[in-house]
Amino acid sequence: MALEIRARHMWDGDAGWTGPVTVRVEGDRIRLVEKGAPTVPRERAGVLDFGEATILPGLVDMHTHLGINHRTGDMRAQMTDPPARHVAAGMHSLLADLESGVTTAKLNGDREFYDIQVRDAIRDGVARGPRLLVSGRGIKSSRCTGGVVATCIVDDVEAIGRCVDENLAAGADWIKLFSSGSVLGALADVLQPFYGTAQLAVAASKAHAAGKRMSSHCFGGEAADACIAAGVDVIDHGWLLTDRQLDAMGKRGTWLCPTVGVLTHPDGVLAHIPPGPAHDAAKRRRDEVCGVARKALGSGVPLLVGTDAMHGGLAYELETLQDLGGAPAALLRAATGNAAQALGLTGEIGAVREGAAADLLVVGGNALLDVSRLAGVLLVVQAGRIVKKG
């Protein structure tokens, strides 16, 4: 079935356009992108004219998880939920992501390869959710104080290599290692590295040899230097990176996926810490992290965006980064064209371009000037099918 979508503004994945624009979808592909006055009669069935609105590619959440949700409480408990409940809750979360305009998501470590099974179920039309790229089991050291989602607990290089091999054999699209622990607590503890260059390099080289990529949960310190040196593709969080490290990432082309909203949102990490000294210390750490994010946004580091299991909250993440000084175009690019590049899916997703997958989002107003507009979803199309309207 053909569908025509019209609006006053468009973000094409790389650049903005203001003026009438028509996007024609046939089957699961974008067939036509027509700038200027439409040449096809507007009364035809299948034409959706949104007027003062913005057409964008479906967004990409580059850091989330299946079976945990920061909004709904204790993640440790969620990780030990019975399997059916864990996956059912995950499907509920992924639907919230899809209906918020996220048509592709990268899962960053989940239980027992459920993420691989869910990815395939969505691909086969058995379940609804964003197109998924998944990491299988997250890998962390036995000393690691964070990484509640990581279930491959290994310390030496050989054991890490075996975990990577098992994840790849099971069908993981990415490899995910935790090289830092928790962001809360004394700075020396937060910056304690749990893996060095040798451990990170074995994972990165195995992932790359298999044509896959690798991300690492890392806040800064020696672990960040090791990630950059080892050729890790994406540093997740990077909340305490120094100017020198940001500079090195920019030179090397290491992506940063900052996930700041999980610290600033009223339902995020801080909501689960009772009032008192620990809560006050967490607020100070949050403010410190916002300061680093502000610098990162002005540093030229290649940027991605993710919610870290604040499901349905990518618009909030983008708005938070905009408040920290991020330019709307840079943020929209992070959520579309950059993500497609990092995922190796340039031209297929993250673009309103003829021949690309018909994954589209329409939001009210001009999102080119203000990314908070992304919260006003008018239409979500996935593979040419309307999955949410109004």
Minimum distance from residue 90 beta carbon to Zn ion (Å): 14
Residue number with CB closer to Zn ion (108 or 199): 108
Residue number with CB closer to Zn ion (100 or 108): 108
CA 69/CA 311 separation, integer angstroms: 7
Minimum distance from residue 197 beta carbon to Zn ion (Å): 22
Q: Which residue is nearest to Zn ion (CB)?
A: 308
Minimum distance from residue 308 beta carbon to Zn ion (Å): 4
- Name the DSSP class of 180: S
CA 370/CA 136 separation, integer angstroms: 35
CA 27/CA 303 separation, integer angstroms: 32
Q: Tell me which residue has tokens 């918020």.
A: 100
- DSSP states along 249-309: HHHHT-EEE---HHHHSTTSGGGGS-SSHHHHHHHHHHHHHHHHHHHHHTTT--B----SS
Minimum distance from residue 348 beta carbon to Zn ion (Å): 25
CA 144/CA 139 separation, integer angstroms: 10
Residue number with CB closer to Zn ion (103 or 135): 135
Contact yes or no for 304/255 (Cβ under 8 A): yes
Residue number with CB closer to Zn ion (305 or 351): 305
Residue number with CB closer to Zn ion (233 or 308): 308
Residue number with CB closer to Zn ion (134 or 361): 134
Q: Measuring CA to CA, how many Å separate 108 from each of 69, 120, 234?
A: 13, 16, 11
Nearest Cα to 359, choosing from 345, 370, 369? 345
Strands 16-26 and 29-35, by their bridges, are antiparallel
Both tokens of 345, joined, read 């899916």
Residue number with CB closer to Zn ion (108 or 179): 108
Return residues touching Zn ion (CB under 5 A): 108, 308
Residue number with CB closer to Zn ion (225 or 308): 308
Contact yes or no for 57/336 (Cβ under 8 A): yes
HSE of 336 in the Cβ direction (CA atoms, 13 Å)? 31
Residue number with CB closer to Zn ion (108 or 192): 108
Minimum distance from residue 367 beta carbon to Zn ion (Å): 26
Nearest Cα to 220, choosing from 291, 269, 310, 325? 291
Beta-carbon count within 10 A of 169 CB: 10
Beta-carbon count within 10 A of 277 CB: 7
Residue number with CB closer to Zn ion (60 or 357): 60
Q: Tell me which residue has tokens 């709307």.
A: 328
Strands 213-218 and 234-237, by their bridges, are parallel
Minimum distance from residue 251 beta carbon to Zn ion (Å): 26
Contact yes or no for 15/352 (Cβ under 8 A): no
